[in-house]
Structure 1
Amino acid sequence: MSARVVTISATYGTGGSTVGPAVAERLGLRFVDRAVPELVAGEIGCTLEEALAHDGRAESGIGRILAGAARLPTVALGMDVYIPDHGFVPPEEFVERTESVITRMADRGGAVLLGRAAAVVLAGREDALHVRLDGPRERRLARAIAAEPPELSEASGPSEASSRRARATGPPDRDVERMLDDNDRARTAYVKHFYGVDPADPRLYHLVIDATRLPASATADLIVGAARAF
Structure 2
Amino acid sequence: MSGETSESSLAPESGGPRLVTVSAAYGAGGSVVAPALARRLGVPFVQRATTTVGEFAGGEKCSEGLEAHEEQNGPIHWLLASLSHSMPTGTTQSPPTSARQHEEMRRTAEAGIRRLGADGAGVILGRGAAVVLGKEHGFHVRLDGPPELRLRQGAEIEGIGIEEASAHQHKSDRARTNYVRRLYHVDPADACHYHLVIDSTALPLDAVVEVILRARAHMR
Question: Shared topology, TM-score over 0.5?
Answer: yes
Kindly indicate whether residue 148 of structure 2 is the aligned counterpart of residue 148 of structure 1.
no
Match of 2:168 among 159, 163, 179: 179
Q: Among 119, 122, 130, which residue is 2:140 paired with?
A: 130
* 1:7 aligned partner: 21
Decide which of 25, 34, 40 is 1:20's aligned counterpart.
Answer: 34
- Counterpart Cα distance in 2 of 1:99 and 1:61: 13
Q: Which residue of 1 aligns with 2:9?
A: none
Cα deviation, residue 105, structure 1 = 1.6
SS of equivalent to 1:29:
coil
Contact 2:19-2:116 at 8 Å conserved across structures: no
- Measure how far apart 1:96 and its partner are: 1.4
Q: Aligned pair in 2 of structure 1 residues 190, 35: CA closer, same or farther (>3 Å)? A: closer
Identify unmatched segments of 5+ residues in structure 1: 42-51, 75-87, 153-171
The correspondence for 1:63, drawn from 51, 65, 75, is 75
Paired residue type of 2:20: V
2:52 alignment partner, one of 9, 23, 38: 38
Correspondence for 1:117: 128
Aligned counterparts of 1:4 and 1:183: Cα–Cα separation in 2: 28
1:135 counterpart letter in structure 2? G
Q: Over alpha carbons, which structure has the higher Rg?
A: 2
The two structures have a TM-score, normalised by structure 2, of 0.73
Q: Which structure dedicates a bigger proportion of its chain to helix?
A: 1
Change in CA separation of 1:142 and 1:176 when aligned onto 2, cut-off 3 Å: same
**Aligned counterpart, 1:202:** 191
Q: TM-score, normalised by structure 1?
A: 0.70
Contact 1:65 1:91 in 2 (8 A): no
Deviations 1:124-152 (A, max 9, x none): 534x1000000000000011122324xx8
CA contact (8 A) 1:16 1:114 kept: yes
State the SS of the aligned residue for 1:209.
strand
Q: Verify the 8 A CA contact 2:24 2:126 in the aligned structure 1.
A: yes
Amino acid at match of 1:144: G
Give the drift of 1:92.
3.8
Cα distance change of structure 1 residues 37 and 125 upon mapping to structure 2, 3 Å threshold: farther
Structure 2: stretches of 5+ with no match in the other structure: 1-14, 56-66, 86-95
Distance 1:97 1:139 in 2: 34
Alignment partner, residue 139 of structure 1: 149
- For residues 136 and 146 of structure 1, what CA distance do their matches in structure 2 show? 16
Equivalent residue, structure 1, for 2:84: 73
Assess if the C-alpha contact under 8 Å between 1:40 and 1:94 holds in 2: no
The alpha carbon displacement at 1:91 in A equals: 5.2
8 Å contact kept, 2:48–2:127: no
Q: How far did 1:226 drift? A: 1.3
Provide Cα deviations, 1:49-108, integer angstroms capped at 9, x if missing partner: xxx76x5xx247503135x1222439xxxxxxxxxxxxx994541321222321112222
Name 2:61's counterpart in structure 1: none
- Alignment pair present for 1:99 and 2:113: no
Pair 1:20–1:216, CA change in 2 (3 A): same
Structure 2 CA distance for partners of 1:7 and 1:37, relative to 1, 3 Å:
farther
RMSD of aligned alpha carbons = 2.7
C-alpha distance in 2 between matches for 1:16 and 1:190: 17
C-alpha offsets along residues 14-68 of structure 1, whole Å, 9 cap, x if unaligned? 1111111211222222222167662548xxxxxxxxxx76x5xx247503135x1
